[in-house]
A and B are shown apart, each in its own frame.
Chain A
């Protein structure tokens, strides 16, 4: 009998436990690092001071990259407590999409241009036109939808070619000024037994950015190519038939052995290691890798050069607004979120944002920062405003840039020709645009 009673009690407890677990608050999303203690602390602050509002901000970069800005906001907007939520880039869009479609989500969302456009179209974002007027059109145009702006551009990101100054100087090699000179430089290094470029082609990113930088320099920045992005997102043109000659020329990177099939067995971190420890003269990346490179080799004489087309120019960098700050239309604390965005949209706010993202530039009118020494050779490129990200112009098909990268891997490995490569990207873009 005792056993019977005990078993009934246990079973009831289990069922109750399960039901309790299934229920609960409607706001289940917290960062992994947020513990119950952190939650209690937030509640304590809110209840003790009565008027402090807690809002949530999500981003795909870690909290370190926003540390100075969060400290600035804590001082500048003392009535708002910001819960910073880091979500890994690989799952960021999926998580945010799910939360927004459920009428929830963070109060301030860091948006890529493609997702900002999608969310604006679905009515998830509040317009930020008044604040957007403080920024240059180059930064806000990609966040505009039907006459309104839905996100404010953060510090720009860019990718160029890091190079080891010592290797260049010791071997008396001049910096190239055109694509052909760049290939010649690479060949000279090869003859000397030095790997010219370290590349982690296990990832789809390096060939995407490298080839698109060449197409930007050679075609998209010209009068003939300036309208390509708009035409492409409107389905009027295709890559196949337009980009072939440029990518064909860029393919000298493959035929001259700068990019090799062996590199598909190397990932980004391994390539970075190879470059940082003097195993290669160059490495394509951006400011986000600066700390990692210098940590591996503090003695390294580091500088960055831009990508070039066949004509001599200031060069081009692949990049654009790193993240657009947007406000969730369904937020219960929209006013507080707008207050935070207003604080970011000041010279001081941009300076705080730049603090942990040095190297990039601000789109806020009047905000300019000194360029660190490691970017000396791209100073002219940045001053000329030659920073461009072609897929930012593709609208809701922007995510197809990943397809471009993977198709380029197949092209490198010789499993398909260039026309097929570009056609496959066109198909992926057409599917996304037809949604």
Chain B
């Protein structure tokens, strides 16, 4: 009997085209093509009033982006949002994962509880927290504060609103980070801990010398996806503050929606999109480099 030749990776011949074609078409149509058009439009005078016979305007739209104070506020807020959210996801998610990796009776229940908020849409979470944080008597927290005899705390002042939104997102996404960390933790060989115990290392030393260095891959995933996702924040902001009060919580995406779409400045919106793409590219490139260095250092 002739033995079937085992097919090796990459030897699918022309078949592979059939498999990748659907995804490739979707990717090209909905991602690459719009980006190319966005790039082209960013050098034109395309608005909702002028939609045909577009003229080339050079870097005018990019200068507008750099000169508009609202754009600067948006970029600053997006960076704060991305860094604080990602930072807390790691700081809170990692120890949580370590604790819930131990043999606790309630660990499955606790894992489910902490992961539960991530199941919902950020819009729903936003509307829910909107009610909880309201300064009116119907706001859950302020109602309790009033009953204790204290004055109203407004969580949506110009200074606090952005951090109130970030807080809700930390609450929602820490459980998700915990699950990624847990998956990584479960891949660490128990023999390493046994060997460390024999050598006399206590739990703290084991955490810092074994667990933490070997968590590099999952930390990298959380940091890179968290920063990119944070920079693109829209739904939570939209549902909780719509960019307000004033412009206190405007982010890159909310401003792009307002200026680029609602106000009909399509070309300026496109230029803003291209600038944003470059910023995200730099941030993720820098993060990748940093994480790789960490990875190399422990490797």
Contacts and interface: CB of A to CB of B under 8 A. Distances in A.
Interface of A: 7-8, 11-12, 14-15, 18, 22, 93-94, 97, 101, 118, 121-122, 201-204, 261-267, 270-271, 273-274, 279, 396, 399, 406-407, 409-410, 412-413, 415-416, 431-432, 435
B136 A271 contact: yes
Given A8-B15, A94-B262, A97-B264, A262 B246 contact: no
> Quick one: which of A118, A202, A261 has the most chain B CB within 10 A?
A202
Contacts of A204: 244
A265 B156 contact: yes
Contacts of B134: 265-267, 270
Contacts, number: 114
B120 interface: no
Nearest to B127: A267
B158 interface: yes
B203 interface: no
A337 B246 CA distance: 42
A118 B49 contact: yes
B19 A202 contact: no
B49 A121 contact: yes
Contacts of A265: 133-136, 139, 152, 154-157
Contact of A97 (B48, B241, B246, B265): B48
B104 interface: no
B113 interface: no
Contacts of B77: none
Contacts of B135: 262-266
B47 interface: yes
Contacts of B22: 14-15, 18
Contact of A396 (B29, B49, B241): B49
A406 B157 contact: no
A122 B263 contact: no
Report the contact-size class of chain B (Cβ under 8 Å from the partner): 35 or more
Contacts of A15: 18, 21-22
Nearest to B51: A101
30 contacts: A8-B18, A11-B15, A11-B19, A15-B18, A18-B25, A101-B51, A118-B48, A118-B264, A201-B245, A261-B157, A262-B152, A264-B157, A264-B161, A264-B245, A265-B156, A266-B134, A267-B130, A270-B136, A270-B138, A399-B262, A406-B243, A406-B246, A409-B244, A410-B245, A410-B247, A410-B248, A415-B248, A416-B246, A435-B48, A435-B265
A7 to B, nearest CB: 8
B118 interface: no
Contacts of A399: 262-263
Contacts of B29: 22
B262 A93 contact: yes
B137 interface: yes
A435 B45 CA distance: 9
Interface string B9-45: 0000001001101100110010000000000000000
Contacts of B154: 261-262, 264-265
Nearest to B160: A265
B133 A12 contact: no
Q: Which 10 A-B pairs have the closest CB atoms?
A: A265-B135, A410-B246, A11-B18, A265-B156, A264-B245, A409-B245, A265-B154, A270-B136, A409-B246, A266-B136
A264 to B, nearest CB: 4
Contacts of A279: 137
B168 to A, nearest CB: 14
A274 B137 contact: yes
Contact of A415 (B136, B241, B246, B261): B246
Given A94-B262, A202-B242, A435-B50, 8 more contacts: A201-B245, A202-B156, A202-B245, A262-B152, A265-B136, A406-B247, A409-B244, A431-B263
